[in-house]
Structure formats: structure tokens, C-alpha cells
Amino acid sequence: MPRIPYPTEDELEPEARERMANLPPLNLIRMFANAPTALGPLTDLGQAILLQSELDPRLREVAILAVARACDSEYERLQHENICRAIGMNEEEIRAAADQNPEALDEEARLIWTFADQIATSVRADEELTARVLEKLGRRQTTELVIACAFYSAMGRIIETTGVELEETLPTENIDPDEYTGD
């Protein structure tokens, strides 16, 4: 049971009801509807990160799994493990990112995992690591990565504090991989 109740259909403001009709049926989005002025900006930023950034989807998901682990957010982890599968990541790679085993990742993914972990656990990554990520990804993708880490750190805290419940059937189970890879 959530710590903060989800709004009922009758309690939804018309704008929130309309926006939710065009979004996946996630309990997290239902929770956001309790704060209708935040619903649009939060979902817009989430969609920008997942669907419109230039950051490699595999690296994005490695980072999100590192953040979910750091925030101890099972909801976030399970949703994004399904996205990982949809974009073609293998189970070994998913387990390594989700279970704090970055040594099992390739060098590039290990760099991104470490960067995301530092952001989630220490608020910022150290200068040397940031410089390495910037050299590898360039300014735009590094900034997108920082935004993704910050956003999913916030989501983990929202999920865990409000008690967002895992859906019985994860909406990410049958997603279109092209939607999350920019293809």
C-alpha cells in the first residue's frame, strides 16, 4: 500500500486526466498526479531522457540501473531491467549494472556505471572521473547523462518515500525497442 494514496479518478484535475491518458499506466505517474502542476514537467523530462537524448541507450540504462541500486529502488530497477532487455542488453550485463558488479561490464559501461554511482551516492562525481566521461562522450551526451542520473535519483527518492507500488504486470514488459533506442 502506498504511503501517500494515489488520486482516484474523481480527484484528478482535468489536465492531469488528459495527460495521463497519453502516458503509460504507471503507478509512478499516478503518484505524480497528486501534484498536478508537476505532472507535466516531470513526465516531459522523463520522456526527453528516454526518447529524445543522443546518449547511447545502453549507457543510459547502465547509469539508471546504477542509480536505482544506489537509491535501493526496486520499482525503478525492475522497470529499467525490462527496458534493458528491449534494447538488446544481455542478462549478464543487466545483472552487473543492477547488482553493483561493474567489473563484469565492458570498460565504457564500467566508466558510466561508476560516474552514475558517484552522482547518486555522493551528489557529484569527482573531477577526474567527470573529465574522463566528458572526453569519452562529449559535452552534450555527458550533460544528458548527468541529467539522467539526477532525474532518476529524484525518481528513486519519490518512489521510495511515497511508497509507489510495483504494477502486477510491468508496462515495460512488452515495449517497442525502437521507442527507447531512437531508431
Contacts of 4-8 with CB under 8 Å at 24 or more apart are 4/31, 4/34, 4/162, 4/163, 6/30, 6/31, 6/33, 6/34, 7/33, 7/34
Verify that 173 and 105 share a domain, yes or no: yes
Verify that 96 and 65 share a domain, yes or no: yes
In tens digits, the chain (183 residues) has pLDDT values of: 899 999 999 999 999 999 999 998 899 999 999 999 999 999 999 999 999 999 999 999 999 999 999 999 999 999 999 999 999 999 999 999 999 899 999 999 999 999 999 999 999 999 999 999 999 999 999 999 999 999 999 999 999 999 999 998 766 555 565 665 555
The confidence score (pLDDT) of residue 177 equals: 59
In a domain, 2, yes or no: no
In a domain, 141, yes or no: yes
Verify that 59 and 44 share a domain, yes or no: no
Assess contact for 173 and 80: CB atoms under 8 A. Answer: no
DSSP conformation class of 51: I
Q: Which residue has the cell 529524484?
A: 154
In a domain, 183, yes or no: no
Domain interval for residue 143: 55-178
Cell of 53: 537524448
H or E element that contains 179: helix 177-181
Quickly list DSSP for 129-159: HHHHHHHHHHHHHHHHHHHHHHHHHHHHHHH
Verify that 24 and 110 share a domain, yes or no: no
What gap in Å lies between CA 156 and CA 91, rounded to an integer?
Answer: 22
Verify that 37 and 106 share a domain, yes or no: no
Verify that 72 and 124 share a domain, yes or no: yes
The confidence score (pLDDT) of residue 168 equals: 82
The confidence score (pLDDT) of residue 163 equals: 97
Verify that 168 and 121 share a domain, yes or no: yes
In a domain, 6, yes or no: no
The confidence score (pLDDT) of residue 100 equals: 87
The confidence score (pLDDT) of residue 149 equals: 98
The confidence score (pLDDT) of residue 106 equals: 97
Q: Please state the three-class secondary structure of 71-117 as a single string.
A: HCCHHHHHHHHHHHHHCCCCHHHHHHHHCCCHHHCCHHHHHHHHHHH
pLDDT tens per residue, range 119-166: 999 999 999 999 999 999 999 999 999 999 999 999 999 999 999 999
CATH number, domain of 64, equals: 1.20.1290.10
1 CB neighbour count, 10 Å cutoff: 5
The confidence score (pLDDT) of residue 80 equals: 95
Question: Structural domain tally of the chain?
Answer: 2
The model's pTM is 0.91
Verify that 38 and 102 share a domain, yes or no: no
